[in-house]
Structure 1
Amino acid sequence: MPADPSRIVTARQMLAHLGLTPADLAAQPEPARRMPTLAEYLPRVAAAASPGTRRTYGTYWNRMSADLGHLRLDEVTASDIEALMRQVTATARTRRTSRHGRHAGEHVIAAARAVYRRAIADGYLTAPDSPMERLRAASRRLGSRTLGWHDCDFCGAFKSNGEYRYYLPDGEIYAAPMMILHYVEKHGYRPPGELRDGLRAAGQPRWDWRAERLHAVLLDQSEDPDFRCQAAVDLANWNDPRALDALRRAAHDEDLADVAGDEIGRSLAAFVDRGLARDLLTEELHVMVRYGLEEASGR
């Protein structure tokens, strides 16, 4: 739309009154946007988050503010976050559900990701287009947990339990131990080229035949309970109301909840974190579903 000539005349008169010309404005660069410190920015993150996200990450955001709040957003390093994770893990109160503080440490990483996702969305930072970031973003839900933990064979400084499954756009599904993120970041491991290429094209998985199959297995009471449990884990990879509906229904299946309620609860927690299950009434859930939900939420 062409500018109104009368507005142009008015603008020129105002510039002349100020002793300026249009060339003066063009030559003057816009002032750089001030980068906030972590302590300054965290209240904005909390205000924009859903109640479920604040409940999950609020404690860890407070700890980040106390320990790293003096640093600007672009000054905080991965080593800073990892050091904080180790401090929180070492000082976490030991509970039957705490896995010796491991869950608290995992929540520190997740809380930091939430902060930096918001900083990228607000334009303070840009997301690096790196294989590590794509792999981390695709590592959405940990499944196939075991009773024990595996120490890193190279450094002994990291423990893992379970595996991630990656649903690629071409229909392929890859599985890797939880340790894959540590191996890539600390020990230079390169995942197979097919997985790296698939992650380059992958975003949030679209609802497809794989999701339909998992949906059907989860709700089929004649299926093997172990298969239904894995379906409950993997459906959390889809940010889709159909996945949430299936998990809600599974949460009220007494027989399934007896054996897999904790995994159903952890998957429901992922939807609460995304702000898609704000109306979830936890008091109506099976005790094992509540246990998984509360464990994943850090409560």
Structure 2
Amino acid sequence: METMLTVDQLEKSFKDKQVIRDISFDVRKGEIMAILGPNGAGKSTTIRNIMGIMYPDAGSITFHGHNEIPRHKIGYLPEERGLYKNVKVMDILLYLAELKDYPLKKAKERALSYLKKFDLEGQEYSSVEELSKGMGQKVQFISSVIHEPELLILDEPFSGLDPVSQELFKNEIRNLAENGTAILLSSHQMNLVEEMCDRLFMMHNGQRIIYGDMDDVKEKYANFKCTIRGKNNLHELEGLPDVERVEQDEDTSVLYLVKDVQAVSWLRNLPESLSVHELSIDRISLHEIFIDIATDGHIAQKEGVSHA
């Protein structure tokens, strides 16, 4: 798959504080790449360096091997929405398309098509301030893609959307990737990231923690866990074979199993004396991996903050 964006050994400091350190990843044509991390991890600084809003102290950012990203080749949906509130929807969309040197006639056709697709048909002459928050977010999304960018950066695109609108966004993001757009997506909604993204880059304290294909990351970090509802002794559960740790809340116990355990064999060997009203076994989610890293938990301790 063709590499579109390459970030190599990026460094950035503000006064005496180093915000990002030795950050390297790439984004490929037609893929959805997640950039993740807790607040203060360095995601926004990394994105702003890619956008040319600020410049790194060291390292390089290349687009198709060139040191500059042509403005008309990139689309950006910022976390902080910022459309002019007293301007009509169509006027703002055509104005932003013009800034990207996109043909006016084609921009109008795409704007009308997107407004219809996003259930905003008939709103083209409404001012932005007349729209609901969700409707305004849809217009902001349209503004980021109206000029057919090759690289699209989405910062918290699902924030504040109802489930129906989330589904619309998910479908459109997938559609853009299928048609060759390289997408860099930042979100705290781990369930959506896990569902949509092909690869991920996870940061903590300005450094890389995890980088790779979603399936590989889950295989490496998402060990099995077993949830048991029933009144059981914590120390007895902790003494079971291949149990790394146990979390217990009243009559619910979650047993986190060691890596590479054979789930079926492990279940067969559970003692009959256990109290089991309900039992389920699955892998830990990306959300749980994120929480663990954000709180300097078991994964962060094992991997260290500078290794993937």
TM-score (structure 1 length as normaliser)? 0.28
Per the normalisation by structure 2, the TM-score is 0.27
Greater fraction strand: 2
Query: Bigger relative contact order, structure 1 or 2, given CA contacts below 8 A and separation 6+?
Result: 2
